[in-house]
Amino acid sequence: MEKQLQFYSTNLNADNLRFHEALLKGQAPDKGLYMPVAIPLIPTDEIESFSNMEYWEIAFHVTKHFLYGEISDQELEKIVRDAYDYDVPLDHVCERKYVMRLDRGPTASFKDFAARMMGRLMQHYLKAGNRHLLILTATSGDTGSAVANAFYGLDNIDIVVLFPKGEVTDRQRKQMTTLGKNVRVLSLEAKFDDCQALVKQAFADPGLDYLQLSSANSINIGRLIPQTVYYFYAYARLASPGEQIIFSVPSGNFGDMMGGVLAMKMGLPVKRFIIATNENDEFPNYLSSGKYNKIEPSRNCISSAMNVGHPSNLVRLLAVYGGIMDEKGNIRKKADMELMRKEIWSVSITDEETRKTIGDAWKQWKLLLEPHGSVGWAGLMRYVGCLENQLPADQLCVSLETAHPAKFPDEIRKITGMDPQLPLSLQGIDHKHEFLSDLANNYQDFKSWLIENYK
Ligand SMILES: *Cc1c(COP(=O)(O)O)cnc(C)c1O
């Protein structure tokens, strides 16, 4: 029989918590991130039984392994059915290479998968405890809108989104700022990493304890767990029993990739992960050299949601491989680099290559990619090129497309000459009223703003 899981902080200086406590807390008091004390294993026959299930059913079975004793089956089923009411297309490209489109949720980015489930779980526990939370979230593009949409209109949750003014597109901004109600949006003359640093400082500030702050960034374990599910789903739809699969994941803050690594450690037969970054190449450099240097300030690339110079979730990745990294990026204990290199391959893709890949994929296969998915696909192409003689021709590979091409119309139009059609969820926002305030990149100002607005 499975036991109730405990979650520990990667800085090893905070109490272990149960799932609902870690979910409502976000970041641990020692600034570490929560991880399961033991990663639950899913037996092979259970993984194989997923092959004829709907997405929400797979979500139910996979997440149940993390939530044992924390929620009733009936409640969990209600949550996943409600959260996952949209398609998850697996487009065939060539040979046995596919693109999984994680862009059919209400804000047309893969972040809907995590935000919708996390919001519903939080709501469930807050209601049960008659509590209120103030969610702070920094966004480099899509987190803010996914979270704002997932939480919009709930009575016992308020949300503040911080974003770097120059780094999100008009449409990404409008997806957050046109909501109103319990969603407040702050625009900063700063980088994503600065926004994230302000949020983290607020969490660690005892003077703000009374606000019951929590996070919805990928530092929240509640974001990570739902992101294990689509890896199982792709496998269930495409693999034959026992077969190994390769995933290519376009990565910024590494929450998506961590979902995949957890899925592998839960028993999913993954041959390798390809971690494709844009020009923020701190991870590929770390993987090859063992030395970690964050990039400050982060580099601006057209895959703007991946402009991250120090990915928060790296501390979790190191934890999986037996290492310890603190929140500043200092390695306190070396990870098992040999095993990490066996399971993960990483590459940095320039903007030039990102654009070229969008053009080539369209010309060659009528495959429409946006900049983030293009980084993933380019990573896969590079990997296949490097390992030409070692990979079987029929190797199953899935590259993740993390946003809808219509979110980046100018770039796509320039390169392919076509105008991607707006999904229903994005129609009509261009002319709506925007609610937003400007904020200086300064912790004291941020703190005063919070105190003034949430007494
Ligand atoms: C957030 C985001 C990413 C990066 O995901 P991480 O979990 O931060 O690595 C990639 N693509 C899009 C479209 C995103 O919004």
DSSP labels, 342-407: HHEEEEE--HHHHHHHHHHHHHHH-----HHHHHHHHHHHHHHHHTTTTS-TT-EEEEEE-B-GGG
What's the 149 CA to ligand 1 centre distance in angstroms? 17
What's the 429 CA to ligand 1 centre distance in angstroms? 22
**Interval 265-312: pLDDT, tens:** 999 999 999 999 999 999 999 999 999 999 998 899 999 889 999 999
Where does ligand 1 bind, in terms of residues with CB under 6 Å? 109, 111, 141-142, 218, 250-257, 305-306, 372, 402-403
Nearest to 360 by CA among 110, 169, 93: 93
Distance CA 404, CA 370 (A): 7
Nearest to 394 by CA among 94, 96, 164, 13: 96
Residue 2 binned pLDDT confidence (cut-offs 50, 70, 90): low
The per-residue pLDDT of the chain, averaged, comes to 94
Q: 191 — phi, psi (to 5°)? A: -95, 165
Q: Where are the alpha helices (DSSP H) in 93-228?
A: 111-129, 142-151, 170-177, 192-203, 221-224
Question: What pLDDT, on the 0 to 100 scale, is given for residue 143?
Answer: 80
Judging by beta carbons within 10 Å of its beta carbon (0-12, 13-18, 19+), is residue 143 exposed, middle or buried?
buried
The percentage of the chain sitting over the pLDDT mark of 70, rounded to a whole number, equals 99
**DSSP code at position 276:** E
Domain residue spans in the chain? 88-108+223-416
Sequence-ordered list of residues with C-beta below 8 angstroms from that of 380, at least 6 positions apart, any chain: 97, 246, 248, 274, 276, 397, 399
**Interval 335-351: pLDDT, tens:** 999 999 999 999 999 99
What's the 365 CA to ligand 1 centre distance in angstroms? 24
Residues 64, 34, 293, 445, CA torsion sign: positive
Q: Where are the alpha helices (DSSP H) in 152-254?
A: 170-177, 192-203, 221-224, 229-238
Is the pLDDT reported for residue 1 higher than 60?
no
> Once rounded to an integer, what is the mean pLDDT over residues 426-435?
86
Is the pLDDT reported for residue 425 higher than 80?
no
What's the 210 CA to ligand 1 centre distance in angstroms? 31
Which atom of ligand 1 is closest in space to residue 251's alpha carbon? Answer: 9
Is the pLDDT reported for residue 251 higher than 90?
yes
Which atom of ligand 1 is closest in space to residue 255's alpha carbon? Answer: 7
Place of tokens 């450099």: 285
pTM of the model: 0.92
Which atom of ligand 1 is closest in space to residue 308's alpha carbon? Answer: 8
Measured in residues, the chain has a length of: 455
Contact 143, 167 (CB under 8 A): no
Is the pLDDT reported for residue 89 higher than 60?
yes
Question: What pLDDT, on the 0 to 100 scale, is given for residue 98?
Answer: 98
Pick the CATH number of 88-108+223-416 from 3.40.50.1980, 3.90.1200.10, 3.40.50.1100, 3.40.50.261: 3.40.50.1100
Q: Whose CA is nearest to atom 1 of ligand 1?
A: 305
